[in-house]
Structure 1
């Protein structure tokens, strides 16, 4: 294994900085995580190595469950309950929202209707969600799935696929040479 591979393996998805800046970056990550936990729901559980970039806004009504080694990019927004596996990258400007405004009663305006808050978004392990993606729950993104930038997820996405578009649909297998 080369020195570059070892450094990448230790760093994960993050850039390498001189050690004083590394300590500062680690401290900022810790502060951001605590900020999200304080403002977030009462049931907030997480594993190790969780990172929220600037502008994270987590307003889940009931619970957030995060595995290990997860990174959320700048301006991440979450307004639903969420369960995330391990080894997940969520790019910048990604939103998790729900179908939470009933609009089927003509006697009640959308503004006056009571908000529904039972939406859950489930993200598997080894997942990448691209820049600017909107996930409208309820939805489940399978293990090993890659969601392309700018996609809108409105339903379940199968494991080990690359999905893109509005609405997001599988375009190919992530590992085409592996027999299933």
Structure 2
């Protein structure tokens, strides 16, 4: 039996983005993002309900406005997730985010990409590769995370960096493309927090 365009999308195969099911699901997410972005920041219960509807699960994730995503249901955020103002998450493939992760203003996490060939691109073909972000990660302002990347635990990524390749745990990373510039010794800090 042939895969649906949604099944192709989630599994990392080339798919047609203008498939009716996918268009309808993106419209649902856009409607929820619009509702979130129009709800007063002080209406925390209402905002949390919209976030839960968008992610299709109960969550303590907190997302500031404005926020945009493609589907919502492919964002698997752990405990203590916080997205500051102006973040965009293109979740065509699964995005797994660990506990206690922080996104500064303007962060873009994008699983989606397009073929380099202009004819294929014009036909509506797309691809999407899953992104994994470990626990205790902080993405600085205007960081962009590209398709297929894995970011290890306890990583800090400097403002304006572009993550095109996997980044190892316990590092500070900066640049375009982002590269480790420092290793963090978090064992002392973890012991201090445990007291």
**TM-score, length-scaled by structure 1:** 0.71
Query: Structure 1 residues 103, 113: CA separation in 2 closer, same or farther (over 3 Å shift)?
Result: farther
Contact 1:45 1:66 in 2 (8 A): no
Equivalent position of 1:143 in the other structure: 153
Choose from 94, 97, 102 the match for 1:89: 102
Equivalent position of 1:8 in the other structure: none
Contact 1:99 1:138 in 2 (8 A): no
Query: Structure 1 residues 46, 85: CA separation in 2 closer, same or farther (over 3 Å shift)?
Result: farther
How many residues are paired up? 147
The whole-number CA distance in structure 2 between the counterparts of 1:37 and 1:102 is 33
TM-superposed deviation, 1:84: 0.7
Aligned counterparts, 1:2-17, within 5 A: none
Consecutive unaligned residues of structure 2, counting only runs of 5 or more, are: 1-39, 189-195
Query: Structure 1 residues 62, 101: CA separation in 2 closer, same or farther (over 3 Å shift)?
Result: farther
Contact 1:56 1:76 in 2 (8 A): yes
TM-superposed deviation, 1:58: 1.9
Indicate the RMSD between aligned Cα atoms, in angstroms.
2.5
Consecutive unaligned residues of structure 1, counting only runs of 5 or more, are: 1-23
Bigger share in helix: 2
**TM-score, length-scaled by structure 2:** 0.66
Equivalent position of 2:30 in the other structure: none
The whole-number CA distance in structure 2 between the counterparts of 1:135 and 1:112 is 25
> Which structure would you say has the larger RCO, counting Cα contacts within 8 Å and 6 or more residues apart?
2
User: Structure 1 runs of 4+ off > 4 angstroms?
Assistant: none
The whole-number CA distance in structure 1 between the counterparts of 2:42 and 2:111 is 32
Choose from 130, 152, 169 the match for 2:179: 169
SS of the residue corresponding to residue 34 of structure 1 reads: helix
The whole-number CA distance in structure 2 between the counterparts of 1:162 and 1:34 is 34
Deviations 1:20-44 (A, max 9, x none): xxxx86633x433433444x46xx3
